[in-house]
Copies of this chain bind each other. A is one copy, B any other.
Amino acid sequence: MNARPLANTAADILDRVRERAPRVHCITNTAAQVLTANLLLAVGAVPSLTISADEVTAFVSGADALLVNLGTFDAARRQAALIALDEADESRIPWVLDPVFCDRSAARAAFARDLAAREPEVVRANRAEVAALTGQDVEDVESAAFDRFALDNLTVLAMTGPTDIVTDGTKRTAIANGHPLMARATAVGCAGTALIAACLAVEDDPFVAACAGLLALGVAGEIAAAGARGPGTLVPRLIDAVYLLDRHTLATRAKVAGPLDVKP
């Protein structure tokens, strides 16, 4: 997959999201809820956010994909996540894990590892969070550890950073889109994970869905940053850019390498 094929595949996936309006249930942190809902609505999906134990099963059972984000790590959300995962297992609903800030608290890292072992279709994490998940120091974590993490957990790891790396343990794609200003607005990464969930709702191959979601976010972020004076005006422009994203823009802007085989 070089830039052009992934861009085309991503455009196909976005078309399917817009046609099918999949439901995406999001158990996510309090600072990310609004932007997450807005990015999902912008891309054409239908978000729901409840964490009420009485209702999570009903909402997940009617959803086409599930997002579990650990950015607010309270008892209610932990319980909601476990209820949601039972229903996702039962109803075979694809899900993505975002272990936000699991490098900052041992309790969160332990819970994140337990969830990762439940075979999410995709785990989205930055380098520090992957280090915490794999029990390594962030300075020492080697790139082979990313592939092993994906293999060990039967998942796709979407590791975000200046260049995003997507690996399933046997192959890797690198995506160099995005803009530094995106890291200066809260919850942009979290909401990007929701785009991966929207892609998972209409695409059976989680590796491809993860690549498509990250590419969409990165390209939209570049477009938004080009017109923004700072992180404040970036956010509404990012939502607009996701709403307006088209095949030509994806093809023109995609900076993609791979997938390349991982050397054992």
Interface set of A (CB-CB < 8 Å, partner B)? 29-31, 33-35, 37-38, 41-42, 47-52, 54-55, 58-59, 62, 72-76, 101, 104-108, 183-187, 228-233, 235-244
Contacts and interface: CB of A to CB of B under 8 A. Distances in A.
Interface of chain A, helix or strand or loop or mixed?
helix
Contacts of A73: 50, 52, 54-55
Given A34-B31, A34-B186, A52-B72, A42 B105 contact: no
10 contacts: A34-B35, A47-B186, A49-B72, A54-B105, A55-B73, A55-B104, A229-B244, A230-B239, A230-B243, A231-B240
Identical chains bound together, number? 3
Pairs A-B, 10 closest by C-beta atoms: A232-B239, A230-B240, A230-B243, A232-B236, A37-B186, A232-B240, A55-B105, A229-B240, A233-B236, A52-B73
Contacts of A243: 184, 229-232
Nearest to A75: B52
A33 to B, nearest CB: 5
| Residue of A29, A30, A31, A55 with most chain B CB atoms under a 10 A cut-off | A31
Contacts of A58: 104-106
Contact of A41 (B34, B101, B185): B185
Contacts of A186: 34, 37-38, 41, 47
Nearest to A54: B107
B41 A184 contact: yes
